[in-house]
Amino acid sequence: MPKFAVFGLGYTGLRILDTLKKENTVLGISRLTQVEGSILLDLSDTEALENFRKENEGSQFDASLITFPAQKLENREQVFDTLFSVSKTVWMFGSTSIYQRITSDITEKTPLDPEHDRYETELRFLEKGGKILRLSGIYGPGRNPANWARKGSVRKTKRQLNLIHGDDISEAVRLLLSYPGNDLPSELILSDGQWHTWLEIFRFLEDHGKIQVLPEEKMDREDSFIDSSLIRKFLPGLQTKDFWGELEKLEELI
């Protein structure tokens, strides 16, 4: 049975841990959150991290996944070295916000923004042989895009909104970690591949009396569509949830 490690048990990490446990041996690692099948480990504690390495070097994980922003760790070099020493493969979540908005579509070939706070960390991770799955905006229960509109953190514009449901991330990770070949690219993008603008979302919420009617505004920044067709070539069975159906559920309209 494959053996995996999930580092970080936040919104996505917990879902992934639950999904992988159904068919695999999985260890969850978190600084604060402990559930069945997980341990507490502060990765910034260099001594504790070294002990973890010694304990797991003899029985390597088939794959490890970093679900949190690794660039925030001062000892990230030690963290990377540890994970690569105890894992055959190491994946890390990234964000599609790292791509430069210079074309209407964003793919894995789109240049990265060297000023992004993840840039240097991701380059170092890739140099060590890691693989990155860059995610669009994450939504789902507890992360309702409608609340972003209600709070005024987004504007009613024709700007494209690129999203991926938390459950779809878990399924994509399951498929990636069980992929039988060795030809997966080192960088992949994951989005739901659906076209929806903030203007459409605002109007949907207005029509259902969920928010007050607001005037349309001009776009305040560049717009791009996140193209996740590459990952679907490798994972043809990957399905993603219908955004409008999920929004209806989150708004308790069905």
Domain range summary for the chain, segments of one domain joined by +:
3-139+164-193+224-240
Q: What is the pLDDT along the chain (254 residues), one digit of tens a residue?
A: 899 999 999 999 999 999 999 999 999 999 999 999 999 999 999 999 999 999 998 889 999 999 999 999 999 999 999 999 999 999 999 999 999 998 889 999 999 999 999 999 999 999 999 999 999 999 999 999 999 999 999 999 999 999 999 999 999 999 999 999 999 999 999 999 999 999 999 999 999 999 999 999 988 766 799 999 999 999 999 999 999 999 999 999 97
Distance CA 242, CA 22 (A): 24
User: 174, 248 in Cβ contact below 8 A?
Assistant: no
User: If phi over 0 gives left and psi between -120 and 50 gives alpha, with beta otherwise, what is residue 240?
Assistant: beta
Distance CA 176, CA 5 (A): 14
CA torsion sign, 151 to 224 to 70 to 83? Answer: positive
Global pTM reads 0.95
Closest CA to 86 of 125, 116, 128, 57: 57
User: What are the two backbone dihedrals, phi and then psi, of residue 23, each rounded to the nearest 5 degrees?
Assistant: -130, 0
Give the three-state DSSP class for 136. coil
Closest CA to 196 of 170, 157, 231, 143: 157
User: If phi over 0 gives left and psi between -120 and 50 gives alpha, with beta otherwise, what is residue 129?
Assistant: left
Distance CA 5, CA 43 (A): 14
Name the residue type at position 152: G
CATH superfamily of 3-139+164-193+224-240: NAD(P)-binding Rossmann-like Domain (3.40.50.720)
